[in-house]
Each structure stands twice: as C-alpha cells, then as structure tokens.
Amino acid sequence: MSQPPKQSADHPVPTSTDVARLAGVSRATVSYVLNNTSAVRISEPTRRRVREAAEELGYVPHAAARSLRAGHSRMVLLPTSHVPVGPLYSRFLNEVQWALRALDYTVVQYGSLGLGADEAARAWAELRPVAVLSLGEIALSAHGVQVLKRSGAKAVITLGPQRVEGAHALVMDQRAIGSAAARHLLERGRRAIGVVVPAEPGLELFSRPRLAGVRRTVTTAGEASGARVEPLTMAYDEESAARLAAGWGALGLDAVYAYNDEYAQLLMRALQDAGVDVPGECAVVGADDLLLGKLLRPRLSTVHIELPTGREIAELVDRVVRDPDGEVERHDLMAAHTVPRESS
Amino acid sequence: MSQPPKQSADHPVPTSTDVARLAGVSRATVSYVLNNTSAVRISEPTRRRVREAAEELGYVPHAAARSLRAGHSRMVLLPTSHVPVGPLYSRFLNEVQWALRALDYTVVQYGSLGLGADEAARAWAELRPVAVLSLGEIALSAHGVQVLKRSGAKAVITLGPQRVEGAHALVMDQRAIGSAAARHLLERGRRAIGVVVPAEPGLELFSRPRLAGVRRTVTTAGEASGARVEPLTMAYDEESAARLAAGWGALGLDAVYAYNDEYAQLLMRALQDAGVDVPGECAVVGADDLLLGKLLRPRLSTVHIELPTGREIAELVDRVVRDPDGEVERHDLMAAHTVPRESS
DNA sequence: TTGAAAGCGGTACCAT
DNA sequence: ATGGTACCGCTTTCAA
C-alpha cells in the first residue's frame, strides 16, 4: 500500500483463460462457445456456464490476438490528412464508412499527419489492413503501394486525381470540374478567365488539376477566340480576398472560377465590396454545389460534382479483397456539370 | 497452376524469421537491431547484414504481434459519428490528432455507425486502446466506460456536453453558448426569442443544451421583463427554412438564435426573402464564429466559442494514461462570448 | 556478442 | 462433447 501506484497489476484484463477457469472448461471450449463454432457440438449447460462466466468477468476478446492467429483482419484503413476537405467530401467519406461496415469491415481512419509518402505507407502496413482506401488527399507512392501489398493488403485503392502505379485507381479527374466551369464561361462570352488557386497547403492535389482543366478547355475551344487564363492565389480569409479584389481592375478579367463555392463566396463578397458588379463586370463560378451557393445574392453558379456512392466504393473494395489478382480495373468517374445561376 | 487462385500463398508476408534466416542470425538479433535495443551490443557488421536483409525483403513489423507481446499499445481511439459536425469541430479534432501524434500516440478514428452505446464500447474494447477520447457526439454509457476500463484502457475521456459516470470528463457546457446569445439579445431589448433546433438527428446533444442555456438565462434575467422562448425545429435545407419564414408573422418573435452560423445564414436568407427585415423586425444570432458570418449582409452576430487547444487535450490524455488512478479531474471549459455585428 | 525458448491471447486440429 | 496443444509474429529474459 505504501508502494507507488501498482500500475494496473490489480486490474488484470480478463482473458479467455480466466473465463475457462471460472466456467470449469478448457480455453478451446470457451472459444467454441463464444464464436458459435458450428463444426463442434457443445452441450447447452456448458454453453450457459461459459456465457455466464464471460459476462461476469466482463470478458472482451482481444482483436489483435485473434487476427494474429487468423492471419488476416477485416480492417480497412482510411488514411486521413489534416486538410480541411470540405463538406462534400466529408459526407462522401461517411457514406463509404457506412457501406463498409455494412459489409462487415472494420473501418479505421488513421491520421498520418506530417509523414512522407513512404513513411506513411510503412506505418499503415504495420497495422496489416486487408485494404487501404486512400482518398487522394494523401500522398501514396508506387513504392508505398508495394510495401502495403507485401504486407498483405489485398486491396490498395486510390480515389483521387492521379493514378498510382500498382494500385487500383478510381480516378476522379478533377480536371473535369475546371473544364465544365471554363466551358460554361466561354459559352457566356467571357474571354479573360481568372482561376482562384487556394493558398492553403494540401489542396494542390485538387486545385492544380482543376486549373489544368480550365487551361485545357480554353486552349482547345477558345483558340480562335483569344481567350486567356489567369491563375490567382488566394487564401481562405478576408484580407487575402480583399487584396485580390483591390487589384481587380488591373487584371482585366471578365470572369473567375473560384475553386469551390466557399472560396467563391469569399471572393464574390470582396468583389462586391470593391465595387465590382457581379455578374455584370465579372462572372463568378464556384464548385461543389453547396447549399450556401443558393443563399447568396446573386445566386452562385457552380459546378455540380457527381461522386460515386459509398456503396459503389465499398463494393469495389470488397470485390478486390476477394479477388486481389483480378484485372486492375480502371474507373473514370466524376461526372461534372454546370449549374448556372445568377452569378455568371 | 490449374488449381483455383492459391490466394496469396505465393505472396508470403515476410516476418522477422525470414529476415533472420536471410541475415544468418537469430530472430532475437533481428529484434535487437531493428529496435536499436540499447541494453544489448550487436557488432556493426551484423547490424548491417540485418538491416540489408530487412530492406531486401521489404520487412515491416506486425504491430498487433508487437503490442500483444508488449501487453499494451499506444493507440488512442477517437470514435467518430456520422454526424456532420461542422468546420469548428473538424479543425479542433485535427489539432488533437496532431498533438497526440507529437506525444507518440497512434491515433485511430473508429466509426461505430449504427451501434448502440454498449455495442460500440465493446467494439472499441476489442482493440485494446490505451485511451479513448470521445468527442461527445458519441453515446458512451457508464457501463461502456466500465467495459473499456476493464479491457485495459487507462484513460476514458469524454469531451462533450454531459458527464459520464466513471470517465474523465472535459465538460464543454453547450449551455454557455445559448446563455451568451440570450444575454446579448435581452440586452438589445428583444423579448420574444426563437431558438432554432436542427431537425437533423445526432445534433440533439448539442442543440438541446444550447436551447436549455437560452431558457435558463431568459427565466433568470428576464423574469421581470416578461421575455419568452420559442423552440423552432428546422432542417438544413431551403424548404424547411422557407416554411419557417412563411409563418414568421404568426410567431410574434423579435429575435432568433439559430443554433450556429450555418443555420443562421439559411434562416436569415429565408426571412429576408419573406420580407422580414433583419435586424429591424427580427434580430438573428448564430454561433461558432465562422468566416461566412462576416460575409453576409447584414453581417451576422455570433457566439464565439473558445475551445481548448489540441495540445491541452493531448496533454490531459497523456497525464491520465500515466496516472490512471489519479484524481478524476473535472474540467469546465468552453468560454463563450458574443461577437455583435449587424444582424442584432 | 548472439541464440534458445517462453509467452502474449486466441483458434483449430486431433485426440479422447 | 470436451481437452490438449501447436502456432500466429514479436520481444525479452537467461545462458552460452
């Protein structure tokens, strides 16, 4: 009693051995009963005794020990970044979780903040997940994929702007978004298109392809028209937006595609405060089709993104897990279409 | 070759035994080298051979096996719900992750969608985390806490509106937010205060105390003034807001506290569209002090919430893990103060 | 300086 | 219908 805190030496976590002892049976029997092993017949009285013993001790099986023995787990790793990823993706991510749970997978989000691609992959591999579903915000190198596969991952799936060697890729080509916005603006007769590129680090994976999409469309369709594209770096705060708006006249732009609806809202407000008429002098288009766009005045034109459903993703994961050596299917999804409202 | 897919029988995951064999040493030596065990001296040539063998095989240690042997892990479980929890909490949550990683904890977000309080606790317990940090959106019962502690969790910490028996509680009393809003509105001379209660399930844990806070302040301070409180259920979509705004006249309210800035934005827009003058006929106050509030016209008054920093939380976790039997400290944090702008 | 072996908590084969 | 036991991958005494 006078000794320092005995740690939890007095708090022994109950194991199946404890349950067996209390029930007066072997560990094997405990295992059979608690797992309802059908290949083996256990008498009803015994079952009851085991169950009661487990209950009384508050026994909870040790997942690590179990999967160590089994040689595999049903853990799907969902790496998360520190990037504020916006409401659209948050909802999508939750959908995926739901759907995976429904297929009896254990979903674990593992934050690998501040780790490089290869360190991160190694950290994930230590957990021996059966599948890794990278949402694309996360760096994943060809080498990383190899490490994961060697560590037993049946499925390594990237869901993002770019393919990764060796992984199943659900390519969500963010360029489609920029393209849709640009096409819309060109149709409206705009010729000098600004593109807001968020200053926030981590968003480049999204913003760069979106910008590239605008460029592609403008150079392709707009060649004869002499249209041009102007990248505009802007942080998600008022000063940055105000600064950009203050120098607006000098830019000579008649339209801007503002990355997403939130950045669009910020910039549109700054433009209005600076006396720039929207859409008269400058059209504004956002993306993601958030509710807030409809609440703004003028109502914000936006690019609606058609994400795959959580169930589709979950089923793909399941399919690949079951047949890892199947064809590495390449999916191109992410339909994007413009929702014209009043700001353009 | 004619047999069905041999699973990954041809893809044996390398173990420390494989490394040992390739390096021509024992498993023990491999462990010593790769963990830099200081209590033991291994010759430089041997170290090199081991390292090279590990590298060549792409060996990655098995976290589960390791912590099984060690008898403990450094996993902090962060249960996540399906509730769209808003930008403020997302940022906070990421901060906590950062800070915990910095203290060398492995942060795992585990979604227990669709599970009851006790089932969830059991599922968490199977992972044998050293700590569970429940963000309060999640149900956690007294029994659940007991299960977790019995399973070896040193720290079970709830961070939310209500205490849970047996757990360390960082009570973030959401009522303070409602109180701040009410006090502000009363000071401005408003007497009939509507309180928006989100229809979305899962938000009750936040919305109910916020409403209670308004009630408390109004009945206390406003007794003599004959002020009243009117709860208003509203979903986060335009129709619901429009419906509410359409019947506004009949409600006879001169102020509304709208749960948070996003709901406030939605309602304020609906009110304006319905011809209700803000703040003339009706004052509007939000909460969370989001950027969007400054962008609205009129600028949205809001309640700013002072959350603890991620580092504070992480250090608390660490402290409790080190000394689980220490005093169960009770913290009351969450300072809330009004940021008056133009809408009230 | 290195190796043999025990053991962490389960599961499943093979006896009994 | 049950029990004995080997083994999953790794760490850590204890000996050599």
3-state secondary structure chain B: CCCCCCCCCCCCCCCHHHHHHHHCCCHHHHHHHHCCCCCCCCCHHHHHHHHHHHHHHCCCCCHHHHHHHHCCCCEEEEEECCCCCHHHHHHHHHHHHHHHHHCCCEEEEEECCCCCHHHHHHHHHHCCCCEEEECCCCCCCHHHHHHHHHCCCCEEEEEECCCCCCCEEEEECCHHHHHHHHHHHHHCCCCEEEEEEECCCCCHHHHHHHHHHHHHHHHHHCCCCCCEEEEEEECCCHHHHHHHHHCHHHHCCCEEECCCHHHHHHHHHHHHHCCCCCCCCCEEECCCCCHHHHHCCCCCEEEEEECCCHHHHHHHHHHHHHCCCCCCCEEEECEEEEECCCCC
Distances (CA, A) of B320 to A160, B105, B169: 39, 13, 12
Cβ partners under 8 Å of residue A136, min gap 6? A158, A159, A160, A161, A162, A172, A205
Question: Do B204 and B250 have their domain in common?
Answer: yes
Percent of chain A whose pLDDT exceeds 90: 71
Domain co-membership, A134 together with A203: no
Do B108 and B210 belong to one domain? no
**Alpha carbons B90 and A82: distance in angstroms, whole number:** 9
Query: Residue A72 to residues A63, A169, A249, B179: CA-CA distances in angstroms?
Result: 11, 23, 62, 52
Phi, psi angles (nearest 5°) of residue B180: -60, -45
Query: Does residue B198 sit in the same domain as residue B301?
Result: yes
A154-163, A266-275, A292-301: least confidently modelled range: A154-163
- B256 and B195 in contact (C-beta within 8 Å)? yes
Query: Are B179 and B234 in the same domain?
Result: yes
Residue B44 is assigned to a structural domain of this protein: yes
Q: Does a structural domain hold residue A339?
A: no
For residues A169-177, give the mean pLDDT.
Answer: 86
- Tally the residues of chain B: 344
Mean pLDDT of all residues in A212-231: 88
Asked whether the predicted pLDDT for residue A37 surpasses 80, the reply is yes
Distance CA B93, CA B200 (A): 21
Q: Could you tell me which residues come within 8 angstroms of residue A248 by beta carbon, excluding any fewer than 6 positions away?
A: A271, A274, A276, A282
DSSP-derived secondary structure letter, A309: P
- How distant is the Cα of A340 from the closest Cα of chain B, in angstroms? 18
Mean pLDDT of A20-24: 97
B102, B182: one domain? no
Provide the sign of the torsion angle of the four alpha carbons B200, B231, B215, B184, taken in this order.
Answer: positive
Check whether residue A295 and residue A183 sit in a common domain: yes
CATH number at residue B29: 1.10.260.40
Q: Is the pLDDT of residue B327 over 90?
A: no
> What pLDDT sits at residue A335?
85
Residues B84, B152: one domain?
yes
Comparing A300 with B135, the larger pLDDT belongs to: A300
Say if B4 falls within a structural domain.
no
User: Are residues A286 and A177 in contact, defined by beta-carbon separation less than 8 angstroms?
Assistant: no
Report the pLDDT value the prediction gives residue B2, as an integer from 0 to 100: 31
Q: Residue A189 has which token pair?
A: 């007769």
Q: Are strands A228-234 and A192-198 parallel, antiparallel or unpaired?
A: parallel
B187 part of a folded domain:
yes
Tens of pLDDT along B248-275?
A: 999 999 999 999 999 999 999 999 999 9
Instruction: Count Cβ atoms below 10 Å from residue B268 Cβ, excluding itself.
Output: 28
**A294 in contact with B, Cβ within 8 Å:** yes
Residue nearest to nucleotide D8 (CA to C1'): A69
- Is B67 part of any domain? no
Say if residue A317 is in the same domain as residue A272: no
Q: B75-80 and A335-339 as β-strands: parallel, antiparallel, unpaired?
A: unpaired
Which amino acid belongs to residue A342? E
Are residues A115 and A207 both part of a single domain?
no
Mean pLDDT score, B112-133:
91
Task: Return d(Cα A287, Cα A181) in angstroms, integer.
Answer: 8
Nucleotide nearest A20, from its CA to each C1': D3
Whether A88 has a pLDDT exceeding 90, the answer reads no
Find the mean pLDDT for residues A181-199.
97
Task: Give the global pTM.
Answer: 0.87
The pLDDT of residue A5 is 34
A1 falls within a domain: no
* pLDDT at residue A199, as a whole number: 96
Tokens of B190: 């408003």
| Residue B43 CA distance to nucleotide C4 C1' (Å) | 20
Number of folded domains that form chain B: 3
A151 CA vs C5 C1’ separation (Å): 27
> pLDDT by residue (tens digit) across B156-215?
998 877 788 888 888 788 899 999 999 999 999 999 999 999 999 878 888 999 999 999
Q: Which nucleotide is nearest to A62 (CA to C1')?
A: C9
Say which range, A66-70, A120-124, B107-111, B301-305, has the weakest mean pLDDT.
Answer: B107-111
Same domain, B135 and B204: no
B296 shares a domain with B215: yes
Q: For residues A88 and B329, which has the higher predicted lDDT (pLDDT)? A: A88
pLDDT of residue B3: 32
How far is Cα A254 from Cα A246, in angstroms, rounded to an integer? Answer: 15
pLDDT value at residue A131: 97
Residue of B62, B81, B130, B239 best to disrupt the A interface, most CBs of A under 10 A: B62
Please state the rounded mean pLDDT for residues B325-338.
75
Domain for residue A70, yes or no? no
Q: Which residue has the tokens 């060796």?
A: A166
Spatial CB neighbours of B275, under 8 Å, sequence gap ≥ 6: none
Q: What integer pLDDT is reported at residue B137 of this predicted model? A: 65
CATH number for the domain spanning B114: value is: 3.40.50.2300
pLDDT tens track for B220-242: 985 667 899 999 999 999 999 99
Q: Which residue has the higher pLDDT, B333 or A318?
A: A318
Is the distance from CB of B147 to CB of B125 less than 8 angstroms?
yes
Q: Does B6 score more than 50 pLDDT?
A: no
Give the pLDDT mean for B127-139: 86
Q: Is the pLDDT of residue A47 over 80?
A: yes
Smallest CA–C1' distance to C7, residue? B69
Strand C footprint nucleotides (protein C-beta < 7 Å): 1-5, 7-14
Q: Please say if the pLDDT value at position B115 is more than 60.
A: yes
Q: Is the dihedral of CA B109, B110, B111, B114 positive or negative?
A: negative
* Domain carrying residue A40: 16-61
Mean pLDDT value of segment B269-285: 97
- Residue in chain A closest to B114 (alpha carbons) equals A98
Mutate to test the interface with B, among A18, A68, A109 (most CBs of B within 10 A): A109
Token duo for residue A340 = 């014209």
Question: For residue A167, is it within any domain?
Answer: yes
Tell me: the pLDDT tens digits for B67-95? 999 999 999 999 887 666 677 888 888 88
Helix, strand, coil abundance in chain A, percent, nearest 5:
45, 15, 40
pLDDT of residue B93: 85
Asked if A266 and B98 come within 8 Å (Cβ–Cβ), the reply is: no
- Is A109 a residue whose pLDDT tops 60? yes
